Structure 1
Amino acid sequence: MRTPTQWSVADYQRMRKLGILDHRRCELINGEIWDITPERELHRFFTDRDAGYLRQILQKQAVVFEGHPITLAKSEPEPDIAIVRRPDTRYLQHHPYPEDIYWLVEVADSTLAYDLNTKRKLYAEAGIAEYWVIDVAGREMTMFRDLWDGDYSTQNVVSDGIVCPVAFPGKPIEVRQLVSIPEGYANDP
């Protein structure tokens, strides 16, 4: 019987440092190295626009990273957007840990099931308080909150209105700003 090799975060970071994975887009998920789906134009657009919008809302209260690693116990995923504690200099020697993270956002144009299931469970087990998945095709966002027993006990799907992150209840965010497609865009994702 064959069993896959389980890599530790330290092993993975050592491979990165040595350049072994330089020509691969990948992330460590529960001890396994997974290839990352190539980024399409619409995914990049949503990630860039939404991160910029969140920076405007949060200003100097948090750092907004785009597509950079975070370090969990057995994983080093690269969420599309990570909203983390300031100052940014605290991440000169390491990627953000769960205690540094306010919430995470994944943009799903071809990875919706993966983001709603595998990534949701990964982030909940790590103790990330809030997790949003933007469904590009559905023009809606699924919000996961309220950690309980290794998962989120609250799941809300929204396509309009105002939401406030748990960490910043006084910072209203317009859902349409995050999920809408530019006027005149004719192609389906």
Structure 2
Amino acid sequence: MTVTTYKWSIDRYHQAVQAGVFEDQPVELLNGEIVVMPPEGEIHACRGDITVEYLRYLLGNRAQIREAKPITLHHNQSEPEPDIAIVEPRFWEYNEHHPYPENIHWTIEFANTSLKKDLETKDKIYATANIQEYWVINLKATELIVFRDPANGIYQSQQNYSSGSLSPLAFSDISITIDILLGKQRWIPGN
């Protein structure tokens, strides 16, 4: 017996969301399949909050920081909800549609229980959509994995960091302290 799964289009997925089909279950659309998102643990939520505030402090009004909100990737029928998406500040435009790849500077995922999905599925989804930069913060290994240079559905560059500083491609004048992202260095807004 052959099992055939139903592939969702983004439009059909939006219809189901608007109808309230998934309102009691957090899900995201990946490669035309609906994937249940696991709940966030304390460390995931805390690191996410600190990173968002830190990036807002560094970037000011140069970018919009979206937390766990959808981005629309028509190339592969995906509408993931990255933990953080750093996008062009087009607040009112996003009233009509979620950010498209051309609006996205880079995405960040915090991985504790989702490391396999973030490194083996989402990396390809983001690369296929030509998102120039994708960061995975591995909470278990306390490291930052940076993917860059998408081509033919895969990132050509992968670098692992456990300390130091890094400038995102879209904002080469900004220096991000990796120890703050990894929780090795405390940061308080305004300091």
Name the TM-score, length of structure 2 as normaliser: 0.93
In the aligned structure 2, how far is the partner of 1:171 from the partner of 1:128?
Answer: 19
Native 8 Å contact 2:112 2:139 kept in 1? yes
In the aligned structure 1, how far is the partner of 2:55 from the partner of 2:62?
Answer: 11
1:180 pairs with 2:176: no
Q: CA shift at 1:181, angstroms?
A: 4.8
Alignment partner of 1:147 out of 150, 168, 173: 150
1:53 pairs with 2:54: yes
Q: CA shift at 1:133, angstroms?
A: 0.1
Secondary structure of residue in 1 paired with 2:170: coil
Name the TM-score, length of structure 1 as normaliser: 0.94
The residue aligned with 2:13 is 12
Instruction: Please list the CA deviations of residues 23-46 of structure 1 after superposition, one character each: whole Å capped at 9, or x if unmatched.
Output: 111001111101001111111111
The residue aligned with 1:186 is none
Q: How does 1:122-161 map to 2 (within 5 A)?
A: 122-161=125-164
Identity across matched positions, percent: 42
Q: CA shift at 1:182, angstroms?
A: 7.1
Q: CA shift at 1:87, angstroms?
A: 2.7
- Count the aligned residue pairs: 183
In the aligned structure 1, how far is the partner of 2:118 from the partner of 2:182?
Answer: 16
Instruction: Please list the CA deviations of residues 66-123 of structure 1 after superposition, one character each: whole Å capped at 9, or x if unmatched.
Output: 1000011101110000000013222111111101000000000111111111010010
The residue aligned with 1:24 is 25
Aligned CA distance change for structure 1 residues 167 and 182 (closer, same or farther; 3 Å): closer
Runs of 4+ in 1 over 2 A off after TM superposition: none
Amino acid at match of 2:89: R
Amino acid at match of 1:160: S
Unpaired stretches in structure 1, ≥5 consecutive residues: 184-189
1:88 pairs with 2:88: no
- CA-atom RMSD, angstroms? 1.1
Q: How does 1:28-39 map to 2 (within 5 A)?
A: 28-39=29-40
Q: CA shift at 1:165, angstroms?
A: 0.3
Unpaired stretches in structure 2, ≥5 consecutive residues: 187-191
Instruction: Please list the CA deviations of residues 141-178 of structure 1 after superposition, one character each: whole Å capped at 9, or x if unmatched.
Output: 00000122221111000011110000000011000010
Amino acid at match of 2:37: I
Secondary structure of residue in 2 paired with 1:154: strand
